[in-house]
Amino acid sequence: MKARVTVTLKSGILDPQGKAIEGALKSLGVDGVASVRQGKVFDIELAGSDKAKAEAALKDAADKLLANTVIENYRVEVLG
Amino acid sequence: MKARVTVTLKSGILDPQGKAIEGALKSLGVDGVASVRQGKVFDIELAGSDKAKAEAALKDAADKLLANTVIENYRVEVLG
C-alpha cells in the first residue's frame, strides 16, 4: 500500500528557507510570487492491506519522527 | 491564489535520507514500513487570478530553482 505524509510549518512560524526561495525567484525573474513556505513530503510503501491500520501506523510515525509537532502540522493520505 | 509544487526523486535514484528514516522507524517500533522516500513541498502564494499564467510561472520556477530535473520530478497544483 502506498501512502504520503506531508509535513508543513504551522502558520505563524517563521520560514527563512521559504523567504530565501522567494527572494531567489524574484531575482530569477519569476513574476507574481507573493510568498513561499517549504515543507517535506514522505512517500511511504507499507506492507499489508488494512487501510485503518496503515493510517494509525503513519500517524504514529509522524508523531514520533517525521514531524516536530510543536512547530509543524502533518497530513496523512493513504493512497491504497 | 494558492499553489503547491511537490518535488520527488525520480525512481531509480538512491535516497539515503529515506533509507535512514526507514531504519529509524523500524528501531522506533513502527511496524509495516517497507520503504520511505523523501521529497519537498513548496506552498506558494501568487498574485493575480489567472490560473494558466500562474501554472506557467510555477513550471518556470520549478525548472529554474525548485527542482533538479536531472534527478527529480515535480508536480504543480494550482489550488485556486
CATH of domain B2-78: 3.30.1280.10
Instruction: State ipTM.
Output: 0.92
pLDDT of residue A31: 85
Which is it for the CA torsion B27, B29, B30, B35, positive or negative?
Answer: positive
pLDDT above 80: residue A80: no
Which of A46, A64, A66 is the closest to B34 by Cβ? A46
The reply to whether residue B32 touches residue A21, judged by beta carbons under 8 angstroms, is no
The reply to whether residue A30 touches residue B60, judged by beta carbons under 8 angstroms, is yes
Task: Give the sheet arrangement for strand B33-46, strand by strand.
Answer: A72-78, A2-9, A33-46, B33-46, B2-9, B72-78
Give Cβ neighbours of residue B39 (< 8 Å, ≥ 6 apart).
Answer: A40, A41, A42, A43, B6, B7, B8, B9, B72
Q: Phi then psi for A9, rounded to 5 degrees?
A: -70, 140
CB interface of A with B, residues 31-50, below 8 Å: 31-48
What distance in Å separates the CA atoms of residue B54 and residue B5, rounded to the nearest whole number?
A: 12
Which of B8, B45, B57 is the closest to A30 by Cβ? B57
Q: H-type helices in chain A, by residue range?
A: 16-27, 51-61
For A5-63, what is each residue's pLDDT tens digit?
A: 999 999 999 999 999 999 999 999 888 899 999 999 999 999 988 999 999 999 999 99
What residue spans define the domains of chain A?
2-78
- B46 vs A contacts (CB less than 8 Å): 32-34
**Is the distance from CB of B79 to CB of B55 less than 8 angstroms?**
no
The reply to whether residue A42 touches residue B48, judged by beta carbons under 8 angstroms, is no
pLDDT of residue B73: 98
Nearest CA in chain A to B50: A32
Helix (H, G, I), strand (E, B) or coil at B15: coil
* Residue A2 forms contact with B (CB below 8 Å): no
Full pLDDT tens readout for chain B, 80 residues:
999 999 999 999 999 999 999 999 999 988 889 999 999 999 999 998 899 999 999 999 999 999 999 999 999 999 97
